[in-house]
Amino acid sequence: MATYVLVHGGGHGGWCYRKVARLLRDAGHEVFAPTLSGLADRSHLSLSDIGLDTHIQDVASLLHYEDLREVILVGHSYGGMVITGAADRAIDRVGRLVYLDAANPVNGQSLVDVAGPIIEATRPFGETVDGTELVLLPHPDAGMFYGVTDPADLTWMAERLTSHPWRCFEEKLDLRDEQAVAALPQFHIVCTSTLATRDPELVDGARKAGRLWDIDTGHDLMITEPEAVTDILLRVAAA
């Protein structure tokens, strides 16, 4: 039995992994899909002090308090920033990292550094509430921004997406042991459409090592292609 911890991206919550989590559990594995502070079912928390490091601590604390070991830590989109930092904070509890159409940061980078044009494009459509700058504001068709087209999925998402503090996207990753994190086996599941925008050296190396898969779908591939994502996650556990 493998243990998966599934970390969501900006504006989402643990809810976005519902289909994948069910399939992994049906296959006999243990699955955690936490919601990061200030989002979804934790949106009642104050957003004023929430940044990338808060979310890193959310996940590192989960690993500690649930006493999880050899975890397959999966991060989607902005979640790639989070799992990289969480692995650094709890290196003895993480067995493998999976970047799910995610940011692949190095020490000292922010999400703006990694995916500037895409994430900066959301900023003009944000708002400031009680002194906190928020982006990815929810609206009825917000799911389309993430490449989702199914009407039922769009309705489901519209009822759950929440605003995200901009601070999380400009706060830089601060690793304590960069070499230890780099030594962890890293796997990549990406959307076919994003391959051309990624570091060619990283893509080539991961593909040669049998650690890269691409799925021809939208950015929220855990929602649009849950069976395909689950199949690959099971391969990661067996690798």
Distance CA 127, CA 217 (A): 30
**pTM (predicted TM-score):** 0.96
Distance CA 134, CA 207 (A): 36
Residue 203 pLDDT > 90, yes or no?
A: no
Domains of the chain: 3-110+172-238 (3.40.50.1820)
* pLDDT level of residue 14 (50, 70, 90 thresholds): very high
**Which of 107-111, 118-122, 153-157, 227-231 shows the lowest mean pLDDT across its residues?**
118-122
Residues 6+ apart with CB under 8 A from 237: 2, 4, 29, 72
Residue 37 pLDDT > 90, yes or no?
A: yes
Average the pLDDT over 155-165 and give the result: 97
Residue 78 pLDDT > 90, yes or no?
A: yes
Evaluated on CA atoms 119, 121, 126, 131, the torsion sign reads positive
Helix (H) or strand (E) holding 224: helix 221-224
Average the pLDDT over 107-111 and give the result: 97
pLDDT at 38: 97
Residue 194 pLDDT > 90, yes or no?
A: no
Average the pLDDT over 15-24 and give the result: 98
**Between residues 199 and 70, which one has the greater pLDDT?**
70
pLDDT tens track for 129-146: 999 999 999 999 999 999
Give the length of the chain: 239
Percent of the chain predicted with pLDDT > 90: 90
DSSP string, 139-205: -TTGGGGGT---HHHHHHHHTT---EETHHHHSPP--S-HHHHHHS-EEEEEEGGGGGGS-HHHHHH
Distance CA 8, CA 16 (A): 7
Return the closest-CA partner of residue 91 out of 174, 33, 175.
175
* pLDDT level of residue 196 (50, 70, 90 thresholds): confident
Please give the sequence-ordered ranges of beta strands (E in DSSP) within 20-151, or none if there are none. Answer: 30-32, 71-76, 94-100, 127-129, 132-135
Average the pLDDT over 38-48 and give the result: 93
Instruction: Give me 55's structure tokens.
Output: 């979310």
Report whether 198 contacts 99 (CB < 8 A). Answer: no
Distance CA 158, CA 140 (A): 5
Distance CA 48, CA 44 (A): 12
**Which of 16-20, 37-41, 43-47 shows the lowest mean pLDDT across its residues?**
43-47
pLDDT at 118: 87
Average the pLDDT over 52-56 and give the result: 98
